[in-house]
Amino acid sequence: MTPDVRPLVAGNWKMNGTRAALDQIKAMAAGVDGPLAEKVDALICPPATLLYVATALSTDSPLMIGAQDCHQNAAGAHTGDISADMIADCFGTHVIVGHSERRSDHAETDHLVRAKAQAAHAADLTAIICIGETAEERKSGQTLDILKRQLALSVPDGATAEDTVIAYEPVWAIGTGLTPTVEDIEAAHAFMRAELASRFQAAGRTMRILYGGSVKPGNARELMAVENVDGALVGGASLKASDFLAIYNAYEALTA
């Protein structure tokens, strides 16, 4: 954890969830509506088909709703894409950009990720910018070089602690059940904090840096206690309210 930085527990549903899953959103909205909400933020990013209904279901709850991607342009002939303004129009508050699955499946570059983050900022959305190394890059000792490059090229110059969140997701740990050691996570987050502070000064010292990659109820407390880890970007474990809330509630002990 970073002193004086409010943690964020975010769930990325990816390409999962139909209307039947809205009961999970309801349960999450109710489950985060308690004293811990004064100290910790909660966010769910469902598929775009559920975005508007999800925001309606969480209207009276601290649970925030975001999207999983946006186009870099505000409008135009881009069949199948959604803009940041459309997300905001559905009352979304956040959007994930640069997730490794977008980078690999759709060949998204750091420059495109930066443009998407800028589009999010223009629509008054918080951009969650994902970075992380592959297994091959890790084995060859390139982890910090990859993080340095992705931070430099993917994060817009005007980013602030209010409109930008960084999510470190080692690509090899996503959905595999594997996680880096606590020491590895601490080293990576310390490096990212130093890079952000050098570039953005005060904003960089308080910009939230989430950890993602096989975060589960069983390891959440240990991972969230690591210095400079300001929350989690949760994948599969965010699909069930019971699992997501167990991760969120790990902060009860950490913020006591």
Q: Distances in Å between the alpha carbon of 52 and those of 6, 59, 125, 144, 164?
A: 26, 11, 15, 38, 22
**pLDDT tens digits, one per residue of 114-135:** 999 999 999 999 999 999 999 8
The single residue of 99, 101, 108, 133 carrying the catalytic annotation is 99
Q: Are strands 208-212 and 64-67 parallel, antiparallel or unpaired?
A: unpaired
**pLDDT tens digits, one per residue of 136-194:** 999 999 999 999 999 999 999 999 999 999 999 998 887 788 778 999 999 999 999 99
The single residue of 108, 133, 169, 195 carrying the catalytic annotation is 169
Question: What residues form DSSP beta bridges with 126?
Answer: 94
Instruction: Note the pLDDT of residue 177.
Output: 80
User: Which residue, among 167, 27, 28, 26, has the nearest Cα to 95 in the 3D structure?
Assistant: 167
Residues in the chain: 256
Is the CA virtual torsion 11, 17, 18, 23 positive or negative?
A: negative
CB 197 within 8 A of CB 158: no
Instruction: Note the pLDDT of residue 149.
Output: 98
Instruction: Note the pLDDT of residue 114.
Output: 98
Instruction: Note the pLDDT of residue 172.
Output: 84
Categorize the per-residue pLDDT at 256 as very low, low, confident or very high, splitting at 50, 70 and 90.
confident
Instruction: Note the pLDDT of residue 94.
Output: 98
Told to judge if 169 belongs to the known catalytic residues of this protein, a careful annotator would answer yes
Mean pLDDT of the chain: 96
- State the residue for tokens 């894409």: 81
CB 9 within 8 A of CB 42: yes
Cα-flanking dihedrals φ and ψ of residue 169, to 5°? -130, 100
Instruction: Note the pLDDT of residue 125.
Output: 98
Annotate the chain with three-state secondary structure: CCCCCCCEEEEECCCCCCHHHHHHHHHHHHHCCCHHHHCCEEEEECCHHHHHHHHHHCCCCCCEEEECCCECCCCCCCCCCCEHHHHHHCCCCEEEECCHHHHHHCCCCHHHHHHHHHHHHHCCCEEEEEECCCHHHHHCCCHHHHHHHHHHHHCCCCCCCCCEEEEECCHHHCCCCCCCCHHHHHHHHHHHHHHHHHHHCHHHHHCEEEEECCCCCCCHHHHHCCCCCCEEEECHHHCCHHHHHHHHCCHHHHCC
CATH topology of domain 8-14+39-234: TIM Barrel (3.20.20)
**pLDDT tens digits, one per residue of 58-95:** 999 999 999 999 999 999 999 999 999 999 999 999 99
Residue 203 has pLDDT above 80, yes or no: yes
Residue 200 has pLDDT above 80, yes or no: yes
- Spans of all domains in the chain: 8-14+39-234
Identity (one letter) of the amino acid at 217?
P
**pLDDT tens digits, one per residue of 89-117:** 999 999 999 999 999 999 999 999 999 99
Instruction: Note the pLDDT of residue 192.
Output: 98
Q: What is the average pLDDT across 197-202? A: 98
Distance from C-alpha of 81 to C-alpha of 69, rounded to nearest angstrom = 9
Told to judge if 133 belongs to the known catalytic residues of this protein, a careful annotator would answer no
Question: What residues form DSSP beta bridges with 130?
Answer: 167
Q: Model pTM? A: 0.97
**pLDDT tens digits, one per residue of 10-47:** 999 999 999 999 999 999 999 999 999 999 999 999 99
Instruction: Note the pLDDT of residue 175.
Output: 77
